Structure 1
Amino acid sequence: MSRSPTESTSLLNGNSRPRRSFLQRVATVVAARDEPSWFASYRWLILGSYLNILLLFIPLSFFSHHLHWDAGLRFSFSFVAIIPLAKLLADATEQMSAKLGPTLAGLLNASFGNAVEIIVGVAALLQGELRIVQTSMLGSILSNILLVLGCSFIAAGFKFKESKFQVTGAQASASFMTLACITLVIPAAYHSTMAKNGGPGENSTLKAVIDGGISDLDPSAEAGLLVISRGTAILLLGVYIAYLFFQLKTHPELFEPEDKPEEEEANMSVIASGTALLGVAVVTSFCADYLVASIEETAERYSIPKPFIGLILLPIVAAEVTFYQANAAEHVSAIFMALKNKMEITIGICVGSSIQIAAFVIPLLVIVGWITNHQLTLFFADFETVIFFASVLLVNTLVQDGRSNYMEGIMLITLYLVIALAFWVA
């Protein structure tokens, strides 16, 4: 007696259920999720926060740029417009992450967790503002590990005499930050050595800082610095992938809090959050382009040092994301997590975001510059390299015992304010 195709397939698979097509399985999974509708998803995204009233600055940014209003207005409107857009990016990323499982969620957060920095960096890079690219990236790192982490330690100190966290995971993250810091010291040391040997004058480093490039070196030294920077960028991206595998796959227990937060009900569907992520990223890219285009004139007209704009002002947008960037399970900020004595999540947000910038965003921008024929390198000025090294050293010192208190937070914020003061007079 002949068997039907369904019976034959079920016998081969060792079960009695008929095989369903891939589309049928996907449809079943989506139906089982009982996801919110498109209207409910976008209503929550747009009306879910009072901060979104700042979205009104998006058309102001557009009109001020194309109608050539005052540079200060163009800069201010674009700057404020990016703040709610950054939060929308974080919200859409979190909503997608909640549906994808821990591994894919970690990869998504690693890719889009610093979308604003990438967008602003690419916009500045394509306009040839290499110094803005470097200072904004360095400023984003410093704002995360000094300002945001310091505020979190102080907030926790108001409620708890001492907070404890998983020391092994914190040290692993801090060690990775040290590696990223060392990779910036090597190009600076190479530049300093080659500049002295070439004898272009004692102001060579200052000239390189002003030009935003490496024009004070002879052609062979310039080529060498580019090779070092681009090769290091590729290696850092490789190490970053290994770090993600270490964090998400082989040693996830080192980065998880003892009390895992409960999952919350989804506010957006997967498709709605994905389309929102892409749409907001496009709008953000336009506002970032307008913002970067106004920096030069704003700095000259209002006597604001460009390094201060790049290192302090632009990273405020990124810091805004960090304050609102929630864990995949709870919509809370790094500071609120500290208030709940869940310092692993707080450190994961602050230090983890800095690692993404240092080992993913900066190398990515170097490679983008390579492709677009912009000579972006990992050479930072000696002053900036020393600042970065001192900041990472302080954070390493404070997290090595697995405890935190409000005094440590005051130390971090004090260093950040000293750095801001130094760049104001730079």
Structure 2
Amino acid sequence: MANKIFLALVIIGIPLSVIGSFLHWSGILMFAIYCLTIIALSSFMGRATESLAVVMGPRIGGLLNATFGNAVELIIAIFSLQAGLIGVVLASLTGSVLGNLLLVAGLSFFIGGTKYKRQKFNVYDARHNAGLLIFAVVVAFVIPEVFTQNMAETSTMSLSIGISIIMIILYLAALFFKLVTHRGVYQPAADAENPHEEEVPEWGKKKAMAVLAGATLAVAYVSEKLVHTFHEVGETLGWSELFIGVIIVAIVGNAAEHASAIIMAYKNKMDVAVEIAIGSTLQVAMFVAPVLVLVSLFFPVSMPLVFTLPELISMVTAVFLMVMISNDGETNWFEGLTLLAAYFIMGIGFYLL
């Protein structure tokens, strides 16, 4: 049923996006059309990556899901940088970290936990990811804020570029560690109790990759149009750039991951669900954010890797909460509810800020 609804949204949404853009329909109306269309396209990206996850295994499947899910946000962010909306881009990065660690993981743990009393996942991956999360957010995001207090603008940008290059190198090294040198070294703890049944992917490998490519191109077009509605939407609804970036752009940009992680958790495939939620956060912090800093050098206004104090405190809090909850390699519905509660508290704060 849901797949039919998303298909209808794509069939209707893409033509409306084109027609509405040419006819200059209301910014609020177009904002809604663009968001629904991106979410529908993201569902197809999620189904395609789920099919690839069956073929290639949970780690690579989770990585693919995170990558193509973040591709949507990366596209939106690049067009926002081009439009000079630095605040929206930084806020959307914050929103991705909070959304993945609190909203996506929270919904996955909660919905999966209503079906299974205890859900286990690879404790070794959880502990490995915990260290990377602390590095990516606490070290790489907080340190620039500390050092740039008394820095000139050019020095701040130089520091951001240096940090970005180091983070990209470490992220690539982390992938090499997980997928090459230590692939299969740490077997999922849950495998003994919950052996994976033989599954048949919804789509074959070629079809899944074709759907991913087509959906990504469509998202690129709609995202470019979406960015131009932010100003009118903000003025009309009284939303700040910070709220639009942290909540709206982050949810729309990560819709594919939201759906896929929840479905995987409901099927008790927690290794994939956790890899999507935490792996996507790491990819945003250690790859997407640094890439955006480097890409911004080609635009009139460069983006330093410096967040506001509310953004930093929220991200650090989300990281430590996730580390504490996931470090034992198992979860339940109450832990999911705890993550969701933290997300909604922060959401209220950003709305009122």
Fold match by TM threshold 0.5: yes
Spell out, residue by residue over 1:367-404, the C-alpha distance to the aligned partner (whole angstroms, 9 max, x if none): 11123454112100112111111111111111222232
- Answer yes or no: is the 8 Å Cα contact 1:103–1:249 preserved in 2: no
**What's the counterpart of residue 124 of structure 2?**
168
**What's the counterpart of residue 297 of structure 1?**
232
Specify every segment of 5 or more residues in structure 1 that has no aligned partner in the other structure, as ranges.
1-46, 195-220, 326-333
RMSD: 2.5
- Answer yes or no: is the 8 Å Cα contact 2:51–2:202 preserved in 1: yes
Give the alignment of 1:169-208 within 5 angstroms. Answer: 169-181=125-137, 182-194=139-151
**What's the counterpart of residue 22 of structure 1?**
none
**What's the counterpart of residue 307 of structure 1?**
242
Specify every segment of 5 or more residues in structure 2 that has no aligned partner in the other structure, as ranges.
none
Q: Post-superposition shift, 1:124?
A: 1.0
In structure 1, what is the Cα distance between the partners aligned to 2:62 and 2:263? Answer: 21
In structure 2, what is the Cα distance between the partners aligned to 1:167 and 1:152? Answer: 17
Give the alignment of 1:192-271 within 5 angstroms. Answer: 192-194=149-151, 221-253=152-184, 254=186, 256=188, 257-258=190-191, 259=194, 261-271=196-206
- Establish whether residue 82 from structure 1 lines up as the match of residue 38 from structure 2: yes
The verdict on how the C-alpha distance between 1:106 and 1:315 changes in structure 2, with shifts beyond 3 A counting, is: closer
The residue type equivalent to 1:233 in the other structure is: S
In structure 2, what is the Cα distance between the partners aligned to 1:101 and 1:143? Answer: 25
The residue type equivalent to 2:221 in the other structure is: F
* 2:229 alignment partner, SS class: helix
- Establish whether residue 59 from structure 1 lines up as the match of residue 15 from structure 2: yes
% identity of equivalent residues: 34
- Find the structure with the greater CA-based Rg: 1
Q: Post-superposition shift, 1:113?
A: 4.1
The verdict on how the C-alpha distance between 1:292 and 1:159 changes in structure 2, with shifts beyond 3 A counting, is: same
* 2:148 alignment partner, SS class: helix
The verdict on how the C-alpha distance between 1:62 and 1:374 changes in structure 2, with shifts beyond 3 A counting, is: same
**What's the counterpart of residue 303 of structure 2?**
376
The verdict on how the C-alpha distance between 1:241 and 1:263 changes in structure 2, with shifts beyond 3 A counting, is: farther
**What's the counterpart of residue 34 of structure 1?**
none
Which has the higher relative contact order, 1 or 2, with Cα contacts under 8 A spaced 6 or more apart? 2
- Answer yes or no: is the 8 Å Cα contact 1:120–1:285 preserved in 2: yes
In structure 2, what is the Cα distance between the partners aligned to 1:120 and 1:267? Answer: 28
Spell out, residue by residue over 1:274-312, the C-alpha distance to the aligned partner (whole angstroms, 9 max, x if none): 443333222211110111100011101221222111111
The residue type equivalent to 1:183 in the other structure is: A
- Establish whether residue 153 from structure 1 lines up as the match of residue 84 from structure 2: no
Q: Post-superposition shift, 1:93?
A: 4.0
In structure 1, what is the Cα distance between the partners aligned to 2:350 and 2:268? Answer: 34
Aligned residues: 346
The verdict on how the C-alpha distance between 1:278 and 1:61 changes in structure 2, with shifts beyond 3 A counting, is: same
TM normalised by structure 1 equals: 0.75
**What's the counterpart of residue 294 of structure 2?**
367
- Establish whether residue 415 from structure 1 lines up as the match of residue 342 from structure 2: yes
